[in-house]
Amino acid sequence: MCGAELKNLPEGVQRVAAELQRRGHPHLPQMLDDAARTAQQAADALGILVGQVAKSIIFRRKSDDAAVLVVTSGDRHVDEKKVEAHVGGKIGRADAEFVKSRTGFSIGGVSPVAHATPPVTLIDQDLLRFEVVWAAAGHPHGVFPLHPSDLQRLTGAPVVDVVQAPVADASATQAAA
């Protein structure tokens, strides 16, 4: 992308593109025709597995009001107790106003990089199952591809277990009994 193309993008996507360029990431944001506010919408739009969506979830650490970013696989659910163990304190859900003020992004477009205020960040180890994942790029229509290890390089965050154990299919469990 050249400078002229960047000016036509939403402000959040411009910030993400600039950060990716600054950090030498080879893939810049792409704009989707339809919004990808959920992991399923992103997967459908990109023709990928839901697990390949690197969803960014913001929590609020109660002790100091810090933003906590958990980048997790789109087919997993965050285990808040595990997150609390990694960030040293209780966390709570963050509302839209908190997310926007701390990250500079609206819910549905929170990128793992280029935050207004750097958050405490954790990366879900289950993302490493994939060769390529897709993350939000600062807008509900913006996404960019990367290798899961690039998330660690770009954010400096640890790769840890932060998700609930996948629930076994009840029919498979019954069949095995």
The CATH number assigned to the domain holding 103 equals 3.90.960.10
| 100-123 mean pLDDT | 96
Give domain status of residue 177, yes or no: no
Give domain status of residue 71, yes or no: yes
pLDDT at residue 54, rounded to an integer: 97
**pLDDT surpassing 80 at residue 64:** yes
pLDDT at residue 176, rounded to an integer: 44
Is residue 136 within 8 A of residue 111, CB to CB? The reply is yes
pLDDT at residue 7, rounded to an integer: 63
pTM over 0.85: yes
**pLDDT surpassing 60 at residue 175:** no
34 three-class SS: coil
Pairing of strands 120-124, 159-160: parallel
Give domain status of residue 102, yes or no: yes
Cα–Cα nearest to 143, from 2, 59, 20, 4: 20
Indicate the pLDDT class of residue 1, thresholds 50, 70 and 90: very low
Give domain status of residue 10, yes or no: yes
Give domain status of residue 173, yes or no: no
167 vs 32, residue with greater confidence: 32
Q: Which domain holds residue 10?
A: 3-164
Residue written as token pair 């998330």? 151
Give domain status of residue 76, yes or no: yes
Q: Tell me whether residue 139 is exposed, middle or buried, using C-beta atoms within 10 angstroms of its C-beta: 0 to 12, 13 to 18, 19 or more.
A: buried
Give domain status of residue 88, yes or no: yes
Structure tokens at 4: 């002229």
Structural domain count of the chain: 1
Give domain status of residue 127, yes or no: yes
